[in-house]
Chains A and B, each alone.
Chain A
Amino acid sequence: MRFVANISNDVIANIENSDTSVETALQEVSTGQKVNQPSDDPAAAAAMVELQAQGANIDQYTSNTESVLSQAQDADSVLTSVVSLLNQAITLGTEGANTYEAASDRDSIASQVSGLLSSVVSLANTTYQGISLFGGTVNGTAFTADSSSSTGYTYNGNSSVNTVQVGASLSVQANIPGDTLFTASGSSVLGALSDLATALKTGTSAQIGSATTEITTALNYVSDQHAVYGNTINQLQSQETYLASDTVSLSTTETSLIGIDTATAAEDLTQAETDNNAVLSASAKVLQNTLLTYLPN
């Protein structure tokens, strides 16, 4: 092969290549990513789509978890209050069951018990951000006064339970319907309280005693249900921790997939710049050198 007669084309191509490398290196440094468009690495770009969707989901699960958690904590404290009200009712019932208690005293105890009943109803009507905590999936006041009902209150909700998705494969029960908690047959809280009030007004000591036992049964039942919320809260708290660690590992994966660490990027850029300088100064030398330079005028 004879020498390459006209090297300027080669020189231009080399400068262009070198400029492209500098541009790529600069883009990597400025964006911190080695994949800036799908063609940079199609497989990584596609994997990123999945990862970003996963990331968005985890963020949403986290916010769902937080929301359900505070809802459950609210309900939990409501039940704590209900339990202490029922304990008071048992104390009152035991007091009222004493045979030497005067009828007027029993009346006053009965009105205290009625007060406890309306306190429990008001607790059962607690709402969280507009959602009735114990109305099932029906919004609005869960229990309203109704003279035709034996307990004096009627349940407006339903027996539906909402489960909230807080993970890709984890859903937790967000509510216990009011009819399960407060008016369950055999251990109805409202029923027991209103029975006790009635017994205190009109009944015998034995009737008051059995009404008090009824309240004890209801108390045990509510305590059991209370544990359901406790479990939910535990579950949600550990899910919160898990989601936080999942977010970290996801962002690590994202970084390793499309990110470039600053040191490598900076080194690439320096390398590209050095190469570029070398190409340019070599080109400047080579292009000037012709026989004509040395010929006398």
Chain B
Amino acid sequence: MDEFEAFLDAGGIVEPNDDIPERYRHAVFRFIELHANSEYMGGLTERDWIPKAPGMHRKLTALAKSQDEIGHAHLLYMVAADLEVKTREEMMVDLLEGRTHFHNVFHYRVHSWADQIAVAYLVDAAALASQQAVFKNCSYGPYKRILRRVIAEEGFHMRNGEEMMLLMAHGTNTQHEMMQEAINRWWLPAVQLFGPDSRPDDELLRWHIKSERNEDLRDRYVQKFVPQLLNGGFTIPDPGLRKDPDDGKWKISEIDWEPLKKTMRNGGPDSARRIADARSAWENADWVRTALDAAAKAHT
């Protein structure tokens, strides 16, 4: 293990055909499975907004984003299954039975189109920031390669979110109010996406699966988004928010992590409905999978 860790510290990239230590293999598997599940659940949320998106262009974007997320999940599940901890089928069953997890931000209800914009603008940006940090120094080759493309595509989503947010910011009073309400709902979940402060002995950091501590990512996010939201004429739903006179940096209130822990155990405000919805989407698409399998067999 010492030798393996020295290899990782020297910037070594692990490939599937290498001799991979068990603990690393399991850690990287769990991390990719969580990412895959989150992309999958995110894709389903996006899908809900395809029929409801205002106008043809927004529908096209919602359609494309949904396809992006499901496509990312597809690639990630392929790499996760190849680590031979669980089959792809087992991962799907575990997710749909609520035995495994997905990111906190997909455990809340998306109430309005403004909520959907807040997700695109605030949540996608937080997810992108954490993916960029993983990519920078990721030691598992196949995962790093997928992240390269995921980041390029998520960057496009973020630009789209920013554009829609500005439209609301400079729109009518009703639009501005709608956006403010959405920001009130989504600010904290977005900030919490980075998770509580990293433990000094975090294996994910030690093995270069992650490259930056959660608190550093969270802080950078706050420094970027607080001024952006204030410039848009919005308020931030944090009475303790202040600018530190010493270093000029924005400081947010202490976060109570207990609700997040409960959410991550699939006990969040909308977890049960989300999982049930994913399960019915899976069951309703059963005939498609059956037909595709039959077509593939007929071809060979």
A and B: bona fide binding partners: no
